[in-house]
Structure 1
Amino acid sequence: MLRTLAAQSDAFPLARPFRISRGVKTVADVVTVEIGHDGLTGRGEGVPYPRYGESIAGALAAIEAARGAIAAGATREDLAEIMPAGAARNAVDCALWDLEAKTSGQSVTDRLGRPPLGATPTAITVGLDDPAAMGAAARALARVPLIKIKVDRSDPETQIRTVRNAAPAPRVIVDPNESWTFAEVERLQPLLAELRIDLLEQPLPADDDDALAGFAPLVPIAADESAHVAGDVGALAEKYQVVNIKLDKTGGLTGALALADAAAAAGLGVMTGSMISSSLSIAPALIIAARSAFVDLDGPLWLANDRPGGVEHGTGVLTPPARGFWGTV
């Protein structure tokens, strides 16, 4: 089998800045992969994340290093031996899933024995800002099903309370992006319970989360930066109640399915997340979202312009992309 392989970087300007405790993003830089065979083309997207030592140049180099094997017919299972888990492998893995759907005439969900994707409620993010601006952003989201609040150490009590007061109805995820200490996790438990917060996401640095072992939180805690692949689950089960699955960490949909299975076997809940990305990243993530208690796939909603045919959004609910966009025929 001989395939063609094309990989390039694409930049999607954001409609407004996206702020978290680690910094501000104004452009979504992604890697786009296209794999062709017999006149058909499969597409995939990855978002290299500096937090994990990734870059656009590094991802493109990793794909180029695997070019010979991919062109010669490497399978998705082969990729685990050829490329490390991460954004580069995610782009290739998802392109192969898409190509398989097109060459087989069966959608990815059909091949997995699952029903077609439907409307998916997603968290809408309130970015880190001064509390008044966060409250204004939250008021505009008062009718969505789920809000995610980005916070830091400066004044999380005011940040969280302001958003909750502005939007009393939605479920809420609080995400400090590794910026808290364990003392702060303990101290803020009563506030999180009082304000009916549904999930606390990765409050501690991934390299310093052992303090969570045996801790009984009032609000479930999700592993994000601490959780990458299925092999991590054994170490996570003592510390967390939920695992946030992102295809850019697992190395694609293949790894994400394995992580979801491992989390379920360990009694952990599942969340689906994404980086700030186009709908080409979100389409395969919707398959994991279908089995998740929490979904955070609002990345394309931050873009000034998404890829044509991508997800549609209405009041916190995503509609799957147009047929043929990814994974469908």
Structure 2
Amino acid sequence: MSRLQLSVTTQSLRLAQPFRISGYVFESADVLVVTLDDGVHRGRGEGAGAYYLGDDLAHMRSEIDRTRDAIEAGPTREELRAILPPGGARNAVDAALWEFEAARAGQPVWALAGLASPPPPIVTTFTVSADTPEAMAAMARGYVGAKSLKVKLTGELELDLARVAAIRQVRPDVWLGVDGNQGFARADLDALVAGLVTHNVSLLEQPLARGREAELDGYRSAIPIAGDESLLSLADLADAKGRFDVVNIKLDKCGGLTEGLLMAAEARRLGLGVMVGTMIGTSLATAPGFVLGQIADLVDLDGPTFLAQDHTPSVVYADGTLYAGPEVWGSGMATAA
């Protein structure tokens, strides 16, 4: 590959309203945007990092700065996995390489990823952030047309079950999953799972803190358990079987679509379900996840819906589905910077 010009910008994305999960409240999100350009073809990518790993804007910038020469030398996406570690910086560069490669090949990204046909809209979950049961029920009711909801819990067992009950009462029609965001103790699980079964909940995501995965050894849950923070990248999947039923792949954790596809293949080999999730970001960050979502069992790609203002052109949310058209990212058209 010819030598590339790398440019990096940052953006602070304002949220439409505060977003609460276990132990954290978001009011804005900082992202890093990478552009790679050879004078004829251009590729773009966005990374948000993972706040709980210290992978913030400053860290992502420093990772890009220390590897700038190697990136501008025009590595393959596989070579990039050895240049940058998993995280937001690699995610942004990886996405830029995908779009650049698509433009140079004159093929859309979906074709480069091995999909047989143009990707159709996919059902995505919409997230209900933690609040009072009444407020969360109102939020769930407001997702008109949603087919799938994910409920953020905080590790407060009785309150969390009241939250789920309130949502299920007003939305008996939807698939429902919950996300513990590492907020629970192993001693909570029996009561938590029993309560979730009562309300027809189909997925329990990351109930225990990262580092406590061994406490799930031998645990038999009536609801599939997904690993998120516990399963950051391909290397973490070696110990996933027997502890988790589903792998939640987030490109900001694993370092991009290239590794995300490898993780999906390994999850399938291990007999685990595949979920694709996202950090808060714009449509530019969501579009690579949309490609991965075509081969996933569960899709949780509602990041742009939390923003006061998204990019234009943007992904489209309609009737509970997500569609990322080629005009958003990865069209395969030569786009000179």
**TM exceeds 0.5?**
yes
Aligned to 1:17: 18
**2:141 corresponds to 1:139:** yes
Q: Per the alignment, in what secondary structure is the counterpart of residue 313 of structure 1? A: strand
**2:258 corresponds to 1:254:** yes
Aligned to 1:44: 45
Q: Per the alignment, in what secondary structure is the counterpart of residue 44 of structure 1? A: strand
Letter of the 2:329 counterpart: W
State which of 175, 179, 184 in structure 2 corresponds to 1:175.
179
Aligned to 1:327: 330
Aligned to 2:62: 61
TM-score (norm 2): 0.95
- Aligned-pair Cα RMSD in Å: 1.2
Letter of the 2:140 counterpart: A
Deviation at 1:317, TM superposition (A): 1.1
- Tell me which moved more, 70-79 or 25-34: 70-79
State which of 205, 208, 211 in structure 1 corresponds to 2:215.
211
The answer (yes or no) to whether the contact 2:50–2:253 under 8 Å persists in 1 is no
Letter of the 2:301 counterpart: L
Q: Distance in 1 between matches of 2:188 and 2:18?
A: 27
The answer (yes or no) to whether the contact 2:14–2:27 under 8 Å persists in 1 is yes
Structure 1 residues not aligned, in runs of 5+: none
Q: Distance in 1 between matches of 2:145 and 2:133?
A: 20
The answer (yes or no) to whether the contact 1:142–1:170 under 8 Å persists in 2 is no
Which deviations, in whole Å up to 9, do the C-alpha atoms of 1:146-180 show, x marking residues without a partner?
00000112211111111111111100110110000
State which of 150, 159, 164 in structure 2 corresponds to 1:160.
164
Deviation at 1:209, TM superposition (A): 2.1
Q: Distance in 1 between matches of 2:312 and 2:141?
A: 29
State which of 128, 136, 139 in structure 2 corresponds to 1:126.
128
**2:291 corresponds to 1:287:** yes
**2:318 corresponds to 1:314:** yes
- Tell me which moved more, 194-203 or 228-237: 228-237
Deviation at 1:248, TM superposition (A): 0.6
Q: Distance in 2 between matches of 1:252 and 1:276?
A: 15
The answer (yes or no) to whether the contact 1:123–1:147 under 8 Å persists in 2 is yes
Aligned to 1:243: 247
Q: How many residue pairs get matched?
A: 328
The answer (yes or no) to whether the contact 2:179–2:207 under 8 Å persists in 1 is yes
Q: Distance in 2 between matches of 1:142 and 1:39?
A: 43
Q: Per the alignment, in what secondary structure is the counterpart of residue 103 of structure 2? A: helix
Letter of the 1:138 counterpart: A
Aligned to 2:335: none
Deviation at 1:82, TM superposition (A): 1.2
The answer (yes or no) to whether the contact 1:222–1:242 under 8 Å persists in 2 is yes
Q: Distance in 2 between matches of 1:142 and 1:191?
A: 26
Using CA pairs under 8 Å that are at least 6 residues apart, name the structure with larger relative contact order, 1 or 2.
2
The answer (yes or no) to whether the contact 1:93–1:252 under 8 Å persists in 2 is yes
The answer (yes or no) to whether the contact 1:310–1:320 under 8 Å persists in 2 is yes
Q: Distance in 1 between matches of 2:3 and 2:235?
A: 32
Deviation at 1:56, TM superposition (A): 0.3
Deviation at 1:72, TM superposition (A): 1.3
Deviation at 1:50, TM superposition (A): 2.0
TM-score (norm 1): 0.97
Deviation at 1:113, TM superposition (A): 2.7
The answer (yes or no) to whether the contact 1:230–1:263 under 8 Å persists in 2 is no
Q: Distance in 2 between matches of 1:19 and 1:34?
A: 31
Q: Per the alignment, in what secondary structure is the counterpart of residue 327 of structure 1? A: coil
Aligned to 1:6: 7
Letter of the 2:238 counterpart: G
Structure 2 residues not aligned, in runs of 5+: 333-337
Letter of the 2:89 counterpart: A
